Amino acid sequence: MEIVVCVKPVPDAETRLRTAADGSTLDIEAVKFVLTGYDESAVEQALLLKEANPGSKVHVVSAGPPPRTEEVLRASLALGCDLATWVEMPPGVAPDPVSAARALARAVAAVPHELVLCGKNAGDDEAGVVAGALAELLGVPDYSAVLDLRWDAAASRLRFQRSTEAGVEKWEAPLPCVVALQQAWNDPRTAKLPAILKSRRLPIAKVPPEAAIPATGTTRPTKFELPPPRTGAKLIEFKTPEEAAQKLVKVLKEDAKVFP
Protein backbone atom coordinates (compact mmCIF):
# COMPACT_ATOMS: atom_id res chain seq x y z
CA MET A 1 0.00 0.00 0.00
CA GLU A 2 1.24 3.50 -0.82
CA ILE A 3 0.72 5.45 2.40
CA VAL A 4 1.29 9.19 2.73
CA VAL A 5 1.37 10.84 6.18
CA CYS A 6 1.09 14.60 6.55
CA VAL A 7 2.77 16.13 9.59
CA LYS A 8 3.13 19.63 10.98
CA PRO A 9 5.89 21.14 13.12
CA VAL A 10 4.26 22.24 16.37
CA PRO A 11 5.83 24.01 19.36
CA ASP A 12 6.92 21.55 22.03
CA ALA A 13 4.48 21.77 24.93
CA GLU A 14 7.48 21.86 27.26
CA THR A 15 8.90 25.12 25.92
CA ARG A 16 7.78 28.37 27.47
CA LEU A 17 5.76 30.33 24.93
CA ARG A 18 5.94 34.12 24.50
CA THR A 19 4.26 36.48 22.08
CA ALA A 20 6.48 38.24 19.58
CA ALA A 21 6.80 42.03 19.54
CA ASP A 22 4.16 42.36 16.78
CA GLY A 23 1.54 40.88 19.10
CA SER A 24 0.09 38.56 16.45
CA THR A 25 2.66 35.78 16.30
CA LEU A 26 4.62 33.53 18.56
CA ASP A 27 8.18 34.43 19.54
CA ILE A 28 9.86 31.40 18.01
CA GLU A 29 13.37 32.27 19.19
CA ALA A 30 13.36 29.80 22.06
CA VAL A 31 10.72 27.42 20.72
CA LYS A 32 11.48 23.85 19.80
CA PHE A 33 9.24 22.42 17.09
CA VAL A 34 8.34 18.77 17.29
CA LEU A 35 5.96 16.11 16.08
CA THR A 36 3.01 16.15 18.47
CA GLY A 37 0.15 13.93 19.61
CA TYR A 38 -2.17 13.55 16.61
CA ASP A 39 0.67 13.51 14.08
CA GLU A 40 2.66 11.01 16.14
CA SER A 41 -0.42 8.81 16.13
CA ALA A 42 -0.73 9.20 12.36
CA VAL A 43 2.90 8.23 11.80
CA GLU A 44 2.55 5.30 14.19
CA GLN A 45 -0.60 4.16 12.36
CA ALA A 46 1.19 4.39 9.01
CA LEU A 47 4.09 2.30 10.33
CA LEU A 48 1.75 -0.31 11.83
CA LEU A 49 -0.08 -0.62 8.48
CA LYS A 50 3.25 -0.94 6.69
CA GLU A 51 4.39 -3.68 9.07
CA ALA A 52 1.10 -5.55 8.68
CA ASN A 53 1.14 -5.24 4.89
CA PRO A 54 4.57 -6.13 3.51
CA GLY A 55 5.60 -4.18 0.46
CA SER A 56 3.92 -1.00 1.68
CA LYS A 57 5.75 2.35 1.67
CA VAL A 58 5.27 5.28 3.97
CA HIS A 59 5.92 8.73 2.53
CA VAL A 60 5.91 11.65 4.98
CA VAL A 61 5.01 15.13 3.71
CA SER A 62 5.12 18.49 5.42
CA ALA A 63 4.72 22.12 4.34
CA GLY A 64 6.46 24.85 6.26
CA PRO A 65 9.56 26.96 6.75
CA PRO A 66 13.10 25.88 7.63
CA PRO A 67 14.46 24.61 9.93
CA ARG A 68 11.46 23.31 11.85
CA THR A 69 9.85 21.48 8.93
CA GLU A 70 13.00 19.57 8.12
CA GLU A 71 13.25 18.55 11.77
CA VAL A 72 9.80 16.93 11.91
CA LEU A 73 10.42 15.20 8.58
CA ARG A 74 13.71 13.79 9.90
CA ALA A 75 12.00 12.76 13.13
CA SER A 76 9.44 10.86 11.00
CA LEU A 77 12.19 9.21 8.95
CA ALA A 78 13.91 8.18 12.20
CA LEU A 79 10.67 6.53 13.29
CA GLY A 80 10.65 4.44 10.11
CA CYS A 81 9.02 6.41 7.26
CA ASP A 82 10.63 5.55 3.93
CA LEU A 83 10.49 8.80 1.98
CA ALA A 84 10.06 12.47 2.79
CA THR A 85 8.85 15.49 0.84
CA TRP A 86 9.13 19.05 2.06
CA VAL A 87 7.06 21.86 0.56
CA GLU A 88 9.54 24.54 1.50
CA MET A 89 8.01 27.83 2.60
CA PRO A 90 10.13 30.95 3.11
CA PRO A 91 11.80 31.27 6.54
CA GLY A 92 9.35 32.26 9.24
CA VAL A 93 6.25 31.65 7.11
CA ALA A 94 3.97 29.05 8.65
CA PRO A 95 1.04 28.39 6.31
CA ASP A 96 -2.50 28.79 7.58
CA PRO A 97 -4.60 25.59 7.38
CA VAL A 98 -6.08 26.13 3.91
CA SER A 99 -2.74 27.14 2.39
CA ALA A 100 -1.17 24.13 4.05
CA ALA A 101 -3.83 21.86 2.55
CA ARG A 102 -3.22 23.34 -0.91
CA ALA A 103 0.53 22.95 -0.60
CA LEU A 104 0.18 19.39 0.71
CA ALA A 105 -2.36 18.46 -1.98
CA ARG A 106 0.06 19.39 -4.72
CA ALA A 107 2.87 17.43 -3.12
CA VAL A 108 0.67 14.40 -2.40
CA ALA A 109 -0.80 14.40 -5.91
CA ALA A 110 2.71 14.19 -7.34
CA VAL A 111 3.60 10.95 -5.52
CA PRO A 112 1.92 7.52 -5.36
CA HIS A 113 -0.81 7.71 -2.73
CA GLU A 114 -3.58 5.27 -1.89
CA LEU A 115 -4.09 6.15 1.75
CA VAL A 116 -3.38 9.63 3.10
CA LEU A 117 -3.15 9.93 6.88
CA CYS A 118 -3.30 13.13 8.91
CA GLY A 119 -3.68 13.96 12.56
CA LYS A 120 -7.26 14.98 13.39
CA ASN A 121 -6.08 18.44 14.46
CA ALA A 122 -2.73 20.14 14.65
CA GLY A 123 -1.41 20.17 18.19
CA ASP A 124 -1.06 23.97 18.22
CA ASP A 125 -3.98 25.72 16.47
CA GLU A 126 -6.31 22.71 16.72
CA ALA A 127 -7.94 23.95 13.49
CA GLY A 128 -8.90 20.51 12.20
CA VAL A 129 -9.17 21.86 8.65
CA VAL A 130 -6.32 20.30 6.71
CA ALA A 131 -7.57 16.72 6.34
CA GLY A 132 -10.98 17.77 4.96
CA ALA A 133 -9.53 20.42 2.65
CA LEU A 134 -6.86 18.01 1.45
CA ALA A 135 -9.48 15.35 0.60
CA GLU A 136 -11.52 17.93 -1.28
CA LEU A 137 -8.49 19.08 -3.28
CA LEU A 138 -7.47 15.48 -4.03
CA GLY A 139 -11.08 14.58 -4.91
CA VAL A 140 -11.29 11.65 -2.50
CA PRO A 141 -13.47 11.00 0.57
CA ASP A 142 -12.21 11.66 4.07
CA TYR A 143 -12.96 10.14 7.46
CA SER A 144 -12.16 11.90 10.69
CA ALA A 145 -11.62 11.03 14.35
CA VAL A 146 -10.54 7.55 13.29
CA LEU A 147 -8.97 4.92 15.46
CA ASP A 148 -7.80 1.37 15.06
CA LEU A 149 -7.27 1.43 11.32
CA ARG A 150 -6.67 -1.93 9.59
CA TRP A 151 -6.43 -3.09 6.00
CA ASP A 152 -8.54 -6.08 5.05
CA ALA A 153 -6.63 -7.30 2.01
CA ALA A 154 -9.16 -10.02 1.13
CA ALA A 155 -12.02 -7.53 0.96
CA SER A 156 -9.83 -4.68 -0.30
CA ARG A 157 -11.29 -2.48 2.38
CA LEU A 158 -10.02 -0.36 5.21
CA ARG A 159 -11.71 -1.25 8.50
CA PHE A 160 -11.68 1.27 11.31
CA GLN A 161 -13.56 2.84 14.16
CA ARG A 162 -14.67 6.43 14.69
CA SER A 163 -15.10 7.83 18.13
CA THR A 164 -18.15 10.07 18.31
CA GLU A 165 -20.05 11.58 21.20
CA ALA A 166 -22.69 8.90 20.74
CA GLY A 167 -20.18 6.07 20.97
CA VAL A 168 -17.85 4.16 18.72
CA GLU A 169 -18.85 3.60 15.09
CA LYS A 170 -17.45 0.74 13.00
CA TRP A 171 -16.64 1.59 9.40
CA GLU A 172 -15.24 0.12 6.24
CA ALA A 173 -14.09 2.10 3.25
CA PRO A 174 -12.29 1.58 -0.06
CA LEU A 175 -9.09 3.33 -1.13
CA PRO A 176 -8.13 5.99 -2.01
CA CYS A 177 -9.11 8.24 0.87
CA VAL A 178 -7.87 10.65 3.49
CA VAL A 179 -8.07 9.53 7.12
CA ALA A 180 -7.69 11.93 10.05
CA LEU A 181 -6.58 10.11 13.15
CA GLN A 182 -7.64 10.48 16.73
CA GLN A 183 -4.77 11.04 19.11
CA ALA A 184 -2.81 8.39 20.94
CA TRP A 185 -5.04 5.37 20.73
CA ASN A 186 -1.79 3.69 19.92
CA ASP A 187 1.39 4.11 21.93
CA PRO A 188 3.69 5.84 19.45
CA ARG A 189 7.14 4.30 19.26
CA THR A 190 10.34 6.15 20.13
CA ALA A 191 13.01 6.45 17.45
CA LYS A 192 16.17 4.52 18.24
CA LEU A 193 19.51 6.21 18.32
CA PRO A 194 20.99 4.52 15.19
CA ALA A 195 17.82 5.38 13.26
CA ILE A 196 18.10 9.01 14.37
CA LEU A 197 21.68 9.13 13.09
CA LYS A 198 20.69 7.46 9.82
CA SER A 199 17.73 9.79 9.30
CA ARG A 200 20.10 12.77 9.18
CA ARG A 201 21.65 11.36 6.02
CA LEU A 202 18.48 10.36 4.18
CA PRO A 203 17.38 12.54 1.29
CA ILE A 204 14.37 14.81 1.60
CA ALA A 205 12.69 15.84 -1.67
CA LYS A 206 12.06 19.58 -1.69
CA VAL A 207 9.30 21.13 -3.71
CA PRO A 208 8.60 24.85 -3.96
CA PRO A 209 5.16 26.02 -2.84
CA GLU A 210 2.69 26.96 -5.55
CA ALA A 211 3.24 30.60 -6.43
CA ALA A 212 -0.50 31.20 -6.21
CA ILE A 213 -0.51 30.49 -2.50
CA PRO A 214 -0.03 33.84 -0.81
CA ALA A 215 2.58 33.72 1.89
CA THR A 216 0.13 35.35 4.25
CA GLY A 217 -2.45 32.67 3.54
CA THR A 218 -6.18 33.01 3.39
CA THR A 219 -6.61 33.53 7.10
CA ARG A 220 -4.35 35.48 9.37
CA PRO A 221 -4.12 35.70 13.15
CA THR A 222 -4.64 39.28 14.30
CA LYS A 223 -3.76 38.97 17.94
CA PHE A 224 -1.92 36.42 19.96
CA GLU A 225 -1.97 36.46 23.70
CA LEU A 226 -1.08 34.04 26.40
CA PRO A 227 -3.76 33.15 28.90
CA PRO A 228 -3.54 35.37 31.99
CA PRO A 229 -1.58 33.75 34.79
CA ARG A 230 -3.92 31.75 36.96
CA THR A 231 -4.44 33.04 40.45
CA GLY A 232 -6.42 31.93 43.43
CA ALA A 233 -5.22 28.35 43.42
CA LYS A 234 -4.50 26.95 46.83
CA LEU A 235 -2.27 23.93 47.20
CA ILE A 236 -3.13 21.63 50.05
CA GLU A 237 -0.16 19.69 51.33
CA PHE A 238 -0.87 16.47 53.15
CA LYS A 239 0.58 13.21 54.29
CA THR A 240 -2.55 11.10 54.68
CA PRO A 241 -5.93 11.15 52.90
CA GLU A 242 -7.58 11.96 56.25
CA GLU A 243 -5.41 15.03 56.65
CA ALA A 244 -6.17 16.08 53.05
CA ALA A 245 -9.92 15.78 53.65
CA GLN A 246 -9.77 17.71 56.92
CA LYS A 247 -7.74 20.53 55.40
CA LEU A 248 -10.01 20.66 52.33
CA VAL A 249 -13.16 20.91 54.45
CA LYS A 250 -11.52 23.67 56.47
CA VAL A 251 -10.69 25.64 53.30
CA LEU A 252 -14.18 25.12 51.89
CA LYS A 253 -15.75 26.32 55.11
CA GLU A 254 -13.49 29.14 56.17
CA ASP A 255 -11.94 30.54 52.99
CA ALA A 256 -14.37 29.70 50.21
CA LYS A 257 -17.37 29.75 52.56
CA VAL A 258 -19.07 27.05 50.52
CA PHE A 259 -20.34 25.48 53.72
CA PRO A 260 -21.51 27.32 56.78
Residues in contact with other proteins by CB under 8 A are 67, 70-71, 74-75, 78, 190-194, 196-197, 200
Concatenate the DSSP letters of all residues of the chain into one string: -EEEEE---EE-TTSPP-B-TTSSSB--TTPPEE--HHHHHHHHHHHHHHHHSTT-EEEEEEEE-TTHHHHHHHHHHHHT-SEEEEEEPPTT-PPPHHHHHHHHHHHHHTS--SEEEEESS-TTT----HHHHHHHHHT--EEEEEEEEEEETTTTEEEEEEEETTEEEEEEEPSSEEEEEPTTSS------HHHHHHHTTS--EEEPPPTTS-TT-SS------PPPPP----PPP-SSHHHHHHHHHHIIIIIS----
Q: Shortest Cβ distance from residue 192 to other proteins (Å)? A: 5
Q: Which is nearer to other proteins, 62 or 161 (CB)?
A: 62
Tell me the closest approach of the beta carbon of residue 196 to other proteins, in angstroms: 5
- Minimum CB distance to other proteins smaller for 75 or for 89: 75
| Nearest-approach distance from CB 78 to other proteins, in angstroms | 7
Q: Nearest approach, Cβ of 185 to other proteins (angstroms)?
A: 19
The residue among 3 and 75 lying less far from other proteins, judged by its C-beta, is 75
Closest to other proteins by CB, 21 or 235: 235
Given the complex with other proteins, which of 71 and 125 has the nearer CB atom?
Answer: 71
